[in-house]
Amino acid sequence: MKRHFSMIRGFHLADWLTLGNAFCGTGAVFAAMRFLQDGRTADLLWGMALIPLAFIFDALDGWVARHRHTASTLGRELDSLSDVISFGVAPAALAYACGMQGGWDWVVLSYFVCCGVSRLARYNVTAESLTGDEGKVRYFEGTPIPTSLALVVVLAVAAWQGRIGDAIWFGSVRLGWELHPLVLLYAVSGSLMISKTIRIPKP
């Protein structure tokens, strides 16, 4: 007879760390929304600070799973779903909150999130074929989605200097729709994630 919350009862420590990653990413999205509502830069900076914390959780869950021999298909799926939130949706939401709200910005930020989703889906289906004799994936195809942490660092510096909103770095141009050139960093990041020619050794 199955007990209530039987799935959660079966979670390993690594799975809880993965959920910590998702929790931080969700908090960052809420912080971006709070900033848009109240305009307090402190809220935005707190949200940005949650992304490095999500990165720490993301690194720890894999380490714990390997050393406790608790790696599983469920854990891999949890990890990918959490990464989509923390390193895909949250950085895009923070960029929007920082002022990248033009029509072309929407397109680029949506492209970035879709690249992240595609990259994680490809990793999940190819992980077994990329696994070496030691039972570990040898390299990443394309840049890992947590590299979007670098984008959040750029946004944090801009927010700290007050260079967001109307004062955002590089201003904006109108190409039918409004485009903030700073958003092109997201286009580059997304394109690197879905590259098949870039191979990065997995630590």
pLDDT of residue 99: 97
Task: Judge whether 1 lies within some domain.
Answer: no
* CATH (domain of 187): 1.20.120.1760
pLDDT of residue 68: 61
Task: Judge whether 141 lies within some domain.
Answer: yes
Q: Which ranges of the chain have pLDDT less than 70? A: 1-10, 65-73, 127-138, 202-203
Q: How many domains does the chain have?
A: 1
Expressed as residue numbers, the domain containing 56 is: 6-201
pLDDT of residue 197: 84
pLDDT of residue 9: 58
pLDDT of residue 62: 74
83-131 pLDDT, tens digit each: 999 999 999 999 999 999 999 999 999 999 999 999 999 888 876 565 5
- CA distances in angstroms from 38 to 3, 9, 31, 118, listed in the order given: 44, 39, 10, 34
Token pair 């007050």: residue: 162
pLDDT of residue 134: 52
Residues 6 or more apart from 128 whose CB is under 8 A from it? none
Q: Do 98 and 127 meet the contact criterion of CB atoms below 8 Å apart?
A: no
**Six-digit token string for 166:** 């109307």
Task: Judge whether 110 lies within some domain.
Answer: yes
Task: Judge whether 95 lies within some domain.
Answer: yes
Task: Judge whether 90 lies within some domain.
Answer: yes
Q: Do 162 and 88 meet the contact criterion of CB atoms below 8 Å apart?
A: no
Task: Judge whether 108 lies within some domain.
Answer: yes
pLDDT of residue 91: 98
